[in-house]
Each structure stands twice: as C-alpha cells, then as structure tokens.
Structure 1
Amino acid sequence: MKTETQTTGEQKGFYKLSSLQRIGFGSGDLAQNLIYQTVSMYLLIFYTNVFGISATAAGIMFLVVRVIDVIWDPIVGAFVDKKNPKMGKYRSYLILGGIPLTGFAILCFWNGFSGSLLYAYITYVGLSMIYTLINVPYGALNASLTRDTDEVTKLTSTRMFMANMGGLAVGYGVPILVQYLSPNGKINSPESAQAWFITMTLYAIAGLLLLVFCYTQTKERVVMDVKETENVKVSDLWTAFKHNGPLRILAFFFITAFAMMAIGNAAGSYYMIYNVQAPEMLPYFMALGSLPAFIFMPLVPAIKRAIGKKQLFYVFLTIAILGMIMLYIISVIPALRSQVWLVLVAQFIKSTGIIVATGYMWALVPEVISYGEHATGKRISGIVNALTGIFYKAGMALGGVVPGLVLAYVGFDKDNTITQSAFAEQGILWLVVVIPAILLLVAMFIISKYELDDAVIDKINHEIESRHKN
C-alpha cells in the first residue's frame, strides 16, 4: 500500500484535507450532475414529447442501456484499479473521459435524427459508457484521499453540497433556459428541440471545465502499489460482493435509493405540467429537489456525531416519506392541489429527507472499501465503486423503465402538451409519490442491517496502517 508522507499532526493514511481540496473534489460531482441530473429529470420527456418516440420504447431503451452497464462497469472497475496512468491513477479519467462525455451529452439532446430509435440508442449508450469511465474512478478517488472517517464525512458533505448545486442548476435552470429559447415557450413540444440542444451544450461545456478544476485540486494518497495492482481482475468484483457483507447491504441500498430518485425525477415534469397544471412553476418544484442540501448538508457531520449514522438514515428517510404523504394528500384534493405553495412545501420536506439520506450514503463507500481491504489485503477501490455503480445504475434502470411503462399503461398522450386523462394523471401520481415511498420503506429496512459504526471502521483502518508499517 502506497501512502504519502504525512504532515505534522497527521497519522499515516489519516490525512487532513483543506477546504479548497474538498471543494475541488466536490466540483467533480457538480460537473457530473450537470449531465446526470439533466438526463435523469428531462431525457424521458425530451424523448417522448420533443424527439418523438413512444414512452414504451424509451422505457425499454433505458432498461437495455442499464443491462449494458452491468457488463461494462466491472470491466471499467478492474481496468482503473489495474492501470496507473501518469496523470493519476483515478483522477486522470476526469480529463480523458470528460471530453467525450461532453460530446455525447450534447448529441443526446440533438434532434437531427428526430424519431430515430437507432440514433437514440447509439448516443445514450455512448453517454452511459463514458459516464461510467468518469464516475467509477471518481468514486474511487474519494477513498484515495484519506482514511480519516471525520474527514470522509466532511468531504462527503462538501461533495453532496456541490452535487446539489448541480441539481439546482439543472432543476431550476434547464426548464427556464429551454422555455426562454423555445419559440413557443414550452419544454415539451417538437418546436423546443433547438432550445434543448443549446441548453445541453452550455451545461456540458460547464461540466467539462469543472472536471478540469477537480483534476487540478485532488491528489491520490492512499492507493495500491503498482505490484499489488497486477493481480486485480474483473472476478474480484464478485469475490468482493460474496465476502463483503457491508458492501452487499450498501449495494442493495443503492439500488432502492436510486430507483426512488430516478422515478420521482423523471415524473416531476409530467406532474407539474399535467397534474398541478402549473408548468410555469416547474423550475421552482425541481429546484426544491436540491435546495435543502444547502441548509442541511453542512450540518450532516454534527448530526451524525449527535445521533449516529443509522439513526441519521432513519430520521431523514422518515422525513422523506412524510413529505410524500403530504404531496399525495394535496394532489388528490382539488382544493389543495390548486394551492401551488402547498405542493412546493411538500416537495421541500420530501427533498430534505431524500437529500440527506442519499447524500450521506456515499460516505459509506470508503468504509466498505476499508472493510474489504482489512479482510483480503486488496484495496480495490475501482472494483468496489464499479459494484456500487452496477446497483445504482440498476436503480436508474428501474427509474427509466418504470415511468415509461406506467405512462404507457395509463394511456399517456405524448401529443397533448396541456392535459391528460384522469387515469394518466393517477399514473403520474404513482410515479411521483406512491412507488418512491414504497422504495424508501425498503431502503430503511436494508440500511438497518448495516453494522459498521465509526469505532469499528477506525479500528480497521488503524490495523491496516499498522500492517504496512511492519
């Protein structure tokens, strides 16, 4: 194991990070979210209402792409663990993958081959594969900066704060910009195609610049020696999954959490346009999906110290469910649904719980990496992040296919930009509230099985460092 010489007051491997280093690392998630959140929130409505393919075809495509990811992710994980590029073991991919990611993101929102399923498949598959080539090593970069659990919590809080800056820029900014650039002021009509293309171009270029900044501000300090990387192979993923119990728990939490978020995000535009009948309020509704992060994520380290990590999950998952119950009640009572401010309050409460719970889950990834290293002697950060990637993309697959199939089932009319049938509105409400709430209950049960508290992780990390001193 290779660890950089520590500064005064630091134990080997337990490095302290500056504010600029935390912000620099977090800028990588901000960059990725400018693309990921745009795809998650708006690609389905772009495909159905602008590009011109059916909800069923789009949903199936999302599922196919995620199946490809199941094959691709472990290959990428083993590749980045095994290779040692001169630009950095993990951070080099921020540049090498950032450039093609920018191109594919722009092409996904280009309407030059309107209605072509083949074009949609090529560009979306390409986007997803290149995204993995950045996201897996970026996740591994987190575990290479320090072993210190308090520093990891601070780093994760900063990262999620900045990730939600990306979510806010997308949730609020994208519909406003598309509406402004669209000749008819809508985001859900073929006439808005050029507006979508320009908007995604601006966001993708901004993301690339942020990835470059992340590269300049991060440095890997806890990584495998070159000799240790020679034995890394794709099958290590399945070995890790089989023998690392905490990793299995975290993986299943990822699939439920990301399915919940992806389904809700994909349905948000439909909900505000057709159910609430307030498309002008869509930017505010989407912005509230990220806004609570700026209030609560800086408080996460203190909250975790006060109540513990499992209780943190319980409290905020419960808050999210309560927000969804409020949103459902408001939506089925016409007199309440017309009060848009109530919809926004419920969205804020729901988002507060989701943001904190799903944001803090990333702090557990370095823990399960250390747990595996303690048991096997291999710090296979890329492999572990590939495995979590498979599960969160499986969640995204559900988030892609479920909305498409539900909309097809309830008879959604993609040609109607103003109203839908009562049954279609009910289906949209299932996607925004009912299905996500069920998934949150499942997630709460899964995380109850996670047994790595801070004392156990600190002991494991100190024992690992002691081995390397001998």
Structure 2
Amino acid sequence: MDNTESYSKNESKGFYKLSQTQRIGFGSGDLAQNLIYQTVSMYLLIFYTNVFGISAAAAGVMFLVVRIIDVIWDPIVGAIVDKSNPKLGKYRSYLVWGGIPLTGFAILCFWNGFSGSLAYAYITYVGLSMLYTLINVPYGALNASLTRDTDEITKLTSTRMFMANLGGLAVGYGVPIIVQYFSPDGKINSSASGEAWFTTMTIYALVGLVLLIFCYKQTKERVLMDEKETENVKVSDLWVEFKHNGPLRILAFFFITAFAMMAIGNSAGSYYMIYNIQAPEMLPYFMALGSIPAFIFMPLVPAIKRAIGKKQMFYVFLTIAIIGMVMLYIISVIPSLKSQIWLVFVAQFVKSTGIIVATGYMWALVPEVISFGEYTTGKRISGIVNALTGIFYKAGMALGGVVPGLVLAYVHFDKDNVLEQSEFAQQGILWLVVVIPAILLILAMFIISKYELEDDVIDKINYEIESRNN
C-alpha cells in the first residue's frame, strides 16, 4: 500500500493517523528550508560585513527593508494559496514551483561577483525572501491539511522539529568547516573567502531542492475546505482573522518575540566565537550545540506534554533557556572562566535546550488556531493564517537583522579586522548573544501565558467542525 494512503478505516473523518515515513517526508521540507534559512540567519550578516564589503548599519537597514516588503507580500501569497487549487496539490505544488528559483537566489546571495554593491545585495536578498515566502506559507498550511488529530500533530511537530534542527546542525557545524576548507586563507570572515561561500551555498541549496521534492512526494492533503468556500478569499481576510481570532493574536506575538530572540542570537554567534572567545576554530562546535539538543529532547516532547501540559512545558523550557543565557553571560565576563571553552559549550547546550523545545513546539499551535478560526467563522483559511504567522516571524527576523547591525555600528565594530575588536565592541556582541535574547524570552513567557486553547478544548472544537461537515 502507498504510504500516503496508510490510514485505518476506523479513523474518524479528519482525524487521520500518519505513518513515520509521512512524518519524515513532511519534516524534510523543514530540513530543506533550514539549509537556506539557517545559513542566512547565522551567516549572511557576517558575509555582508566581512566578505561582501558593506557596512553593518547598511546591512541592518537592508534587513529591515526586506521585512517591510514581506509584510506586503506574505498576505498576498496567503490569499493566492487559499484561493488556488493547483493540480499538483493545493499546498504541495509550491514546494516544487518555488523550490527551483529559491535554489538559484540562495546561491546568488552568497556570490561575491558584485562585491560591495548594495543594489545587488538588495535584489538578491529581496528575491530570496519573496521566494522563501512562496514555499514557507503553503508549507505551513500543508501541516494543518494532513490531520486534525492533536496527538498526531504533536508527533508530526516533534518529527518536523527534529528534521529542522538536523538542518540547523548541518548549517551551524558544517558551513564554517566547508567554507574554511575551500577558503584560500582558511577563514570565513575575510574577503578572500568569497568563492568558498559561493561553493558552500551551492551545495546546500541543491541538497535543499532534492529534499523539497521528497517532501512533495511523501505528503497528502486531506483536511481541505471545498473549493467554493475558498474562492472568495481576499487579502483583507488576514486582518479580519487577526481581529476575531484571539489565540492567533497570542501566537503571532509569541512568534515575533521568539524569532527576534533566535535571529539576534544566531547572527551574533559567529562574531562571539571569533572576537569574544577568540576561538574561531571552535565556531562549528558552538553553532552545532544550537541544534544538538533537538535530537535528545524533541522525540520526548509528546511524553513531556502529556505529563505536564503544553503551557507548563513552555514555562519550563523558556526558563531553562534563560538560565543558559545567564550562565553564558557570567562565563563571558570572567576571564578565568571564558578561557575554559567547555564551560562555554555547557552554557550553550543549556540555552539551546530551552530554546529548541519552546520554539519548536510553537508550530504545533498553528493548526489549532486555524481550527479555532474555522470554528468561529466557517472558513478554514490556512494560507492566510500561515501568512499572518509568517509576517510576525519575519518581523522577528527583521529585528534579528537590524538590531545586530545597528548595535555593531554603535559599538564601532571594525569589519576590516578579522582577528580582534575593542572591548566596547566585544560588549556589544555579548548584548546580542545573551542580554537582548534573555529579555525577549521573558516577554515570550508572558505572552504564551495568555494562550487558552488547551488540548481538551481544541479536540472538542475539531469534533464539532467535523460533525457540521457530515
């Protein structure tokens, strides 16, 4: 039997069971996207400042401009996705259609052929971001189309985040090693490493395209609205949904806070290891520890959630992340501790454990707010909802781009010095790695405390929706 059809006849309509192959197939889409997203998040800023040759302030402003464009573009994509019904799949088809040009623009973003050209940087980064949306919005909606079963969604999200962090590990650990290998001077932050960055991104982008095609082949859309019910979807439905869907508003603000925290910390990680710890050779291990806890803890998420509930799970792991950041700060300001690289790694592991579980599980809440919207309005506009969450997580990414750029400019970061920075610049880098992210985590904890869709509530909502449709 085809694995896309492997569900029991005893299942209630809409509450489908998914095979492990289906979960891995769906998760491979996140793995593919993270090979590009995480590379951009972790390394594009240092590529622009130290390799491509534009100032930190100019790069920061560009990141903000691109995100403003996304605020306009994302709801347009969401409306198109909800209204359209392509033959290759309402949501799946975009994995292929968008995947091919996305691969090209990802490679061009890390090409040094027009070194120092702000116009070239804008064109390629805007193109990359728009194409990423064209894949990410329908991919997020695809999640909600596979099943209504909350236990299955939890298992699916656990597998998905495992795969996403596999991508993060491949980027965090692998990218600097490959760039150093191909770079003539063995560095990742010098103008001589331009061709090495281009080669590395070509490898990662092409692997990502293969994974997107695999995701397309392994997924099947089952929970969909009738075509007549979605043909009148408009961009303005986004704001209507945001106004009337309280849980969606809570989740949206959690997204912006969480992604701002991750983007700021990730983009500063390479600066931190090179200039603060002064151990660039340890950068791959430090970045890898941003993903490794996922392979230990994400498979345990379904059991943890059953034991303590999803809100308590958020509180526990957000607190663990804050503890890890406090540890990292203390280690970084005491010279005798900073020289002990294993302590830096322990603190990074603790911090990453909290971040991975809390921010990983938030994706399981997206199908819940989609169902809540369908329950209250009669419209299951998955594309619009994912466009809205996309706007907020990209707003978080915007902060992750503009804040580091402006902070580095404020502390007089010297982009031409590949070995050391002033004490003030090092302090600014430390703000970016732990202080600002810790403040955002405290805010995220307050936001998620307002989320009210417990499992018994959302299960009742989903069963009522299916009873209406029968």
Amino acid at match of 1:373: E
Q: What is the rounded CA distance, in whole Å, between the counterparts of 2:268 and 2:168 in structure 1?
A: 16
Q: How far 1:6 sits from its partner (Å)?
A: 6.7
Q: What is the rounded CA distance, in whole Å, between the counterparts of 1:280 and 1:111 in structure 2?
A: 24
Counterpart position of 2:267? 266
Counterpart of 2:100 in 1: which secondary structure? helix
Per-residue CA deviations over 1:109-147 (Å, capped at 9, x if unaligned) read 000000000000000000000000000000000000000
Counterpart position of 1:440? 441
Q: How far 1:7 sits from its partner (Å)?
A: 3.1
Counterpart position of 1:100? 101
Q: How far 1:8 sits from its partner (Å)?
A: 1.9
Counterpart position of 1:38? 39
Counterpart of 1:71 in 2: which secondary structure? helix
Counterpart position of 1:298? 299
Per-residue CA deviations over 1:353-398 (Å, capped at 9, x if unaligned) read 0000000000000000000000000000000000000000000000
- 8 Å CA contact 2:7, 2:18 repeated in 1: no
Counterpart position of 2:407? 406
Counterpart position of 2:79? 78
Counterpart position of 2:55? 54
- 8 Å CA contact 1:143, 1:366 repeated in 2: yes
Counterpart of 1:222 in 2: which secondary structure? coil
Under a length normalisation based on structure 1, what TM-score does the superposition of the two structures give?
0.99
Q: What is the rounded CA distance, in whole Å, between the counterparts of 1:190 and 1:406 in structure 2?
A: 22
Counterpart position of 1:148? 149
Q: How far 1:231 sits from its partner (Å)?
A: 1.5
Matches within 5 A, 1:388-399: 388-399=389-400
Counterpart position of 1:137? 138
Q: What is the rounded CA distance, in whole Å, between the counterparts of 1:370 and 1:41 in structure 2?
A: 34
- 8 Å CA contact 1:321, 1:440 repeated in 2: yes
Q: What is the rounded CA distance, in whole Å, between the counterparts of 2:154 and 2:264 in structure 1?
A: 28
Counterpart position of 1:280? 281
Cα gap change, 1:353 to 1:5, in 2 (>3 Å): closer
Where structure 2 has 5 or more consecutive residues not aligned to the other structure, the ranges are: none
Amino acid at match of 1:255: I
- 8 Å CA contact 1:371, 1:457 repeated in 2: yes
- 8 Å CA contact 2:6, 2:19 repeated in 1: no
Counterpart position of 1:23? 24
Q: What is the rounded CA distance, in whole Å, between the counterparts of 1:450 and 1:111 in structure 2?
A: 45
Q: How far 1:9 sits from its partner (Å)?
A: 2.1
Per-residue CA deviations over 1:295-338 (Å, capped at 9, x if unaligned) read 00000000000000000000000000000000000000000000
Counterpart position of 1:65? 66
Number of paired residues?
Answer: 466
Q: What is the rounded CA distance, in whole Å, between the counterparts of 1:65 and 1:8 in structure 2?
A: 48
Corresponding position: 1:185 with 2:192: no
- 8 Å CA contact 1:33, 1:166 repeated in 2: yes
Amino acid at match of 1:374: Y
Q: What is the rounded CA distance, in whole Å, between the counterparts of 2:288 and 2:231 in structure 1?
A: 46
Q: What is the rounded CA distance, in whole Å, between the counterparts of 1:344 and 1:279 in structure 2?
A: 14
Per-residue CA deviations over 1:12-42 (Å, capped at 9, x if unaligned) read 0000000000000000000000000000000
Per-residue CA deviations over 1:186-209 (Å, capped at 9, x if unaligned) read 000000000000000000000000
Under a length normalisation based on structure 2, what TM-score does the superposition of the two structures give?
0.99
Percent identity (aligned): 86
Amino acid at match of 1:205: L
Q: What is the rounded CA distance, in whole Å, between the counterparts of 2:99 and 2:238 in structure 1?
A: 25
Counterpart position of 1:382? 383
Q: What is the rounded CA distance, in whole Å, between the counterparts of 2:203 and 2:6 in structure 1?
A: 41
Amino acid at match of 1:146: T
